[in-house]
Amino acid sequence: MILNNKYTMPYIVPTSAIDGLYRCTPLSFAALSQDLAANHYSSTGIFMPQLQKNGKIWIISKQHFEIYEYPLWLDSLILQTWAQPPKGVFCFRDFAYYYAKNGKKPSFTAAFRDFESTEQRSKDWDADILQQQGSLCVRGSTCWMALNTETNQPAPLDESVFGSLAFCSEHLEGRVFAKIGVPETWDRELVLQPSLLDIDMNGHVNNLNYIRWVLSAMDASFCRGKLPRILDTNFLISAQYGQELCCRSAYSGDGTVCTHSIVRTSDGAEVFRARTEWADEVALARPLRIE
C-alpha cells in the first residue's frame, strides 16, 4: 500500500528471521529492505524481469542501518520504504521499521494468540492501522545505480527506469554512508567460495550473502553478549560463482567496532567492505516472556 509516497506493509516476525534467543537478526533487517524495495518498484508498473529484458539492472552501492531495538518472534511491525529524488546517477532509498499499534507483545503467549486471531490478521492491511505506528525499531538508507548491461555504464534515469515511481524527500539524518577505513592488520580471516545458492537474478552474488559471510566469520567471543547497533556496507565489485574469496575481520580495542572486508584471492581485489558497531544486547532487545 502506498501512503504519502511511501510503500507501507504489515509484517509479523517469523521463525525464519530470528536467532537463538528469538530476536530478529541483522541479516533479516537487510533482507526485508531488499523485499520492500522490489515490492515498491514492482508497484510502479516496471518489474525486474522487464527491466532486464530492456538491458538494465539495479546495482546496490552502499547501505546504512541503525538498529534501535530488536523485535521478537511474532511481534507485529509496520515496514516502510520510499525513493528519494536522484542525485546525478545515484538513486537513494530509505527504510523505517516500526512496531505496529500493540505490536510489541508482552509475552509469547499473547503474541501467538494474536497471530492465530483471524480478526486481528484481517486488520493488518487497513490504512488507518498502518498509519498508527508505534516506536521505531530500525532506520536505514541505501544507494543504488541503474546500469546498462551492454555498456556497463549508468543508464539514463528516465521513465524506462522509474515507471510511475513517486519520490519522497524525507531522508535519514546524521552519519549516513560514512567512509569505512581499512585497518593495518586483520584479526581473523576465512576463505570461502560462493555456491550456486548464493547467486542472484543478475548472475552475481546476492548482496545479502556478503553481510551473512562477514557476520558469520566473526570471532564468537567478540559477539558474546552484544548485538550490532550500526551496519554500514560498501559493495565494490561483483563476486561470481566459482571465485575464491577471503573474508577478513578487525576488532577495535574497546570491543565495540568491527571492520569487515572481502577480497578476491586470485588478484587481491576488494569485493566488499563493511563496518559494524556493537552494544550490550540488554540495551537493544527485551527477553522473550512466556506466560
Q: What percentage of the chain reaches a pLDDT higher than 70?
A: 97
Average of per-residue pLDDT values in the chain: 92
Given a contact cutoff of 8 angstroms between Cβ atoms, the answer to whether 133 and 49 are in contact is no
What string of DSSP letters covers 237-258? S---TT--EEEEEEE-TTSSEE
Q: Report how far apart, in Å, the C-alpha atoms of 193 and of each of 37, 198, 208, 233 are.
A: 28, 10, 15, 20
Task: Give whichever of 43-52, 111-120, 131-140, 156-165 has the largest mean pLDDT.
Answer: 131-140
Let me know: does 7 contact 40? Beta carbons within 8 Å. yes
Residues facing residue 91 across a β-bridge: 144
Block residue for cell numbers 529524488? 85
List, for residues 158-178, the tens digit of each pLDDT value. Answer: 888 888 889 999 988 766 888
- In the predicted model, what is the mean pLDDT of residues 68-73? 97
Nearest Cα residue to 261 out of 207, 200, 211, 198? 211
Q: How far apart are CA 232 and CA 143, in angstroms?
A: 12
Distance, in Å, from the CA atom of 48 to the CA atom of 38, rounded to the nearest integer, reads: 8
At 196-255, the pLDDT tens digits run 999 988 788 999 999 999 999 999 999 999 999 999 999 999 999 989 999 999 999 899
C-beta of residue 138 within 8 angstroms of C-beta of residue 26? no
Quick check: 63 pLDDT over 70?
yes
Q: What are phi and psi of 147, to 5 degrees?
A: -115, 140
DSSP code at position 197: G
Half-sphere exposure of 102 (CA within 13 A, CB side): 10
**Do the beta carbons of residue 278 and residue 260 sit within 8 Å?**
no
**C-alpha pair distances (Å), 38 with each of 43, 46, 93:** 9, 10, 11
Specify whether the CB–CB gap between 97 and 69 falls below 8 A: no
- At residue 185 the predicted structure's pLDDT band, cuts being 50, 70 and 90, is very high
DSSP, residue by residue, 39-70: HHHHTTT--HHHHHHTTEEEEEEEEEEEES--
Kind and range of the H or E run holding 230 = strand 226-235
Rounded CA-CA distance 206/185 in Å is: 27
Q: What is the pLDDT of residue 123?
A: 64
- Would the pLDDT of 119 be above 70? no
DSSP structural state of residue 156 = P
Closest CA to 209 of 186, 240, 252: 240
pLDDT at 69 over 80: yes
Neighbours of 142 (CB within 10 A): 24
Picking from 288, 282, 218, 225, the residue whose alpha carbon sits closest to that of residue 27 is 218
Print burial letters for 95-110: b (CB count within 10 Å at least 16), e (below 16): bbbbbbbebbbeebee
Give dist(CA 26, CA 39) in Å, integer.
Answer: 20
pLDDT of residue 44 exceeding 70: yes
Q: Which residue has the higher pLDDT, 276 or 171?
A: 276
Q: Averaged over 59-78, what is the pLDDT?
A: 96
The residue count for the chain: 291
pTM score, whole prediction:
0.92
pLDDT digits (tens, 9 = 90+) for 91-112: 999 999 999 988 999 999 999 9
